[in-house]
A and B are shown apart, each in its own frame.
Chain A
Amino acid sequence: QKEVEQDPGPLSVPEGAIVSLNCTYSNSAFQYFMWYRQYSRKGPELLMYTYSSGNKEDGRFTAQVDKSSKYISLFIRDSQPSDSATYLCAMSADYGGATNKLIFGTGTLLAVQP
């Protein structure tokens, strides 16, 4: 079983739709959760960063963490064609060392149709 599971999609939605992207994980030590957006032929760009459980909102984006279910979500409201990209979830634990290794999901390809 992979440490982080993410539905690869592709996910196609009409413009203006609410998009829900999800990841599940198996390591209960994970405390830091991130979402990255990756446009074609570009590197991953940090979108959202949350610590432990709860919600975080930034404009049209909301990140949600449910540690009891080992489940994280990214919601995109009023989706736009410019949101079309691959979305990667990533997470890490804090073992107190100098480097906390990030574990990534495989990414979900999202296409927002105008």
Chain B
Amino acid sequence: SAVISQKPSRDICQRGTSLTIQCQVDSQVTMMFWYRQQPGQSLTLIATANQGSEATYESGFVIDKFPISRPNLTFSTLTVSNMSPEDSSIYLCSVRTGARSDSPLHFGNGTRLTVT
């Protein structure tokens, strides 16, 4: 499976600021995803990062709040904009390494974000 590196691993940010999270994969992958993991809740898909086009957002998530870039097949960024304490969470980058749509996902170690 692919090696997925996320930076930063954790951060403490002030309300109203923005944070950009980077995800680097050691091989080219077709599908990259961004998830949020909050205590006591299931992993929630934020968006699918599409290479060369705009990301596809899930219900409840919008581009202005979570802009995503995917300049190539090995790299993506997620920005959490105008942060509030409710954005405190773990943000996970995920990839699908197989060609089939039913191939399982693999995850990075996440970015633990605390907003004060």
Verify if A60 is at the interface (C-beta below 8 Å from B): no
Given A34-B104, A49-B104: A43 and B43 interface contact (C-beta under 8 Å): no
List 28 A-B pairs, Cβ < 8 Å.
Answer: A2-B42, A4-B42, A8-B40, A31-B102, A32-B102, A32-B104, A34-B104, A41-B109, A42-B110, A43-B107, A43-B109, A45-B107, A46-B1, A46-B105, A46-B106, A49-B104, A88-B43, A90-B105, A92-B102, A99-B31, A99-B96, A102-B43, A102-B45, A102-B105, A103-B42, A105-B42, A106-B41, A106-B42
Where the two chains meet, the residues of B that have a C-beta atom closer than 8 Å to any C-beta of A are: 1, 4, 31, 40-43, 45, 48, 92, 96, 101-102, 104-110, 112
Return the contact of B101 from the options A2, A36, A42, A97 (Cβ within 8 A): A97
B48: A residues at CB distance < 8 A: 99
B106–chain A nearest beta-carbon distance, Å: 6
B105: A residues at CB distance < 8 A: 46, 90, 102
Where the two chains meet, the residues of A that have a C-beta atom closer than 8 Å to any C-beta of B are: 2, 4, 6, 8, 31-32, 34, 36, 41-46, 49, 51, 88, 90, 92, 94, 96-107
Return the contact of B43 from the options A41, A44, A92, A99 (Cβ within 8 A): A44
Across the interface, name the chain B residue whose C-beta is closest to A94.
B102
The 10 closest A-B pairs by CB, nearest first: A43-B107, A104-B42, A104-B43, A43-B109, A106-B42, A44-B107, A100-B101, A32-B102, A49-B104, A43-B110
Return the contact of A41 from the options B4, B101, B102, B112 (Cβ within 8 A): B112
User: When chains A and B are docked, how far (Å) is the Cα of A46 from the Cα of B109?
Assistant: 13
